[in-house]
Amino acid sequence: MTAPRIGSVCTGYGGLDIAVQAVFGGSLAWVADNDPGAALILAHHHPKVPNLGDITAVDWHGVEPVDIYIGGYPCQPFSTAGKRKGTSDARHLWPHIARALGVLRPRLAVFENVAGHLSLGFDTVLGDLAALGFDADWCCVRASDIGAAHQRNRLFFYAWPADSGGPGLARGWAERTTAHRRGAVADAIDLGEHGSGARGTGRDEPAARRLAAAHPAGVGEREPADQAQSLAGSGQARQEPGRGGGGAAADADRDGREEQQRSEPGLGTRRDADGRGPQRWGPYAAAVERWAQVIGRPAPRPTDDLGRLNPPFVEWLMALDDGHVTAVPGLSRTAQLKALGNGVVWPQAVAALRILLARSEPEAWGRAAA
C-alpha cells in the first residue's frame, strides 16, 4: 500500500497535518491558506509544497488529487465565544470545502472545529456529505483529556466514500504507519475506556476521562490565547477595539488588535526569570506540570517583560516544537498569537482519530445520511 498523499485547507500552522501524518503517514501534496501569517509559517516549514491560497477562488478541477483531504475550517461562525452566526457568517467556508470534495473525491477526509458546531451548522455539513456520497463519523475530545493544561473542547470528524463499503483503507494506513507516529506525546495519551461514553449529538462521545480538566469553571470553549491568559494571570477575554465589555477573541479579527496590559495575580513576580517555578502558576501548577510531563519539556514563562501573554508559552500549550511558530522569520508577535489561537493541538487530534478508528468496524460506522 503506497503512502497517502495529503491535501490540507485552512492549514494554519499545520497542527491537523501533523496529527494526520502521525496516524496515517503520507506527505503533503499541497496546502491552502491565504492568511499572511499562516502563509509565512507554511513556506518556512514546507518550502516545496504549493500553497493554493484562498480556497474560495480555487478551481479544484486543476488541483492534484489526494488520498486524504483535511481542514480545520474557521470556527468563529460556530464558537460559543463568538456571535454564532453559523452559515450566515462570511467566514463560513464549508460550502467551498464541500465543492472541493465533490471534485477531488478523496478516499478520506478529516476535519476539526469547535464542539459548538454540533449544535449549529453540523446538520448542514452531514447533509452535504450525504448528498456527495460520503459517510461520516465524529467525536468530541478535550485537550485536557490528553493532559493539556487547557480544556479546548473540539469536534473531530472524518468522511469516506459511502460506496467503498467501509473504512478499510484508513485502517490499513493507520496500522502500517505506527512507526511514523510522533513518539513521546502520542504514546502518553490515555483517554480511558470509551465504549461506555455518554450519548452526544448523534454519536457516543468519550466520557471516561482519566485526566481532569485544568479549570472546568473558567475555561470552557474559549480560544487557546484566552485560555493561556487564564494560566498567565488574566481570565478575561481581550477586548476588541470599538466594542464595550470583554469582547470574545474567537469572533475578532485579531490583526491589529490593541494589546492589553495584564496583571499576574497569584503568579509570583517577574523577577522569577525562567518563569517555571510552581509559585508562578498558582492554582494551575498541577495542570502545567502534568502537560510538561506529557510533552517532555517544561513550560516557558507565561508573560513577557511587559506583562503580555508570551507566544512561546502558547506554542508550548499547543504541543508544538519550540520555535515552530515563534522562530519563523518575519512573523510579528500579533501574527504568532493569531496563528496559535487558530491552531489544532495535534496530540488531541491524534487521540480523536484513534477513537474513531477504534470503533470503525464497517457494520458499526455512523451514516451521515441516517
Strand 5-9 to 68-71 pairing? parallel
CA distance 200 to 267: 37
Burial letters for 161-183: b for 16+ Cβ neighbours within 10 Å, e otherwise? Answer: bbebebbebbbebbeebeeebbe
Instruction: State the Cα–Cα distance between residues 343 and 16, nearest whole angstrom.
Output: 8
Q: Would you tell me how many other CB atoms lie within 10 Å of the CB of residue 63?
A: 17
Q: Choose, from 10, 75, 139, 140, the residue flagged as catalytic.
A: 75
Helices (H), 233-359: 285-295, 311-317, 333-341, 346-358
- The Cα–Cα gap between 217 and 367 comes to 35
- 211 grid coordinates: 485526566
Dihedral sign of CA atoms 302, 304, 310, 312 in order: negative
Q: Which residues contact 131 (CB under 8 A, 6 or more apart)?
A: none
E strands, 78-142, in order: 108-114, 134-142
**Cα dihedral angle (98, 104, 110, 116), rounded to 10 degrees?**
-10
Q: What are the C-alpha distances in Å from 45 to residues 14, 20, 119, 330?
A: 9, 16, 35, 14
HSE-up of 152 (CA within 13 Å, CB side)? 32
**Which three cell numbers, joined as nine digits, stand for 225?**
490565547
Check: CB of residue 200 under 8 Å from CB of residue 140. yes
Is residue 150 within 8 Å of 96, Cβ to Cβ? no
Can 140 be counted among the known catalytic residues? no
Instruction: Count H helices and E strands in the chain, helices first.
Output: 11, 6
Write down the residue that cell numbers 506527505 correspond to.
27
> Active-site residues: which are they?
75
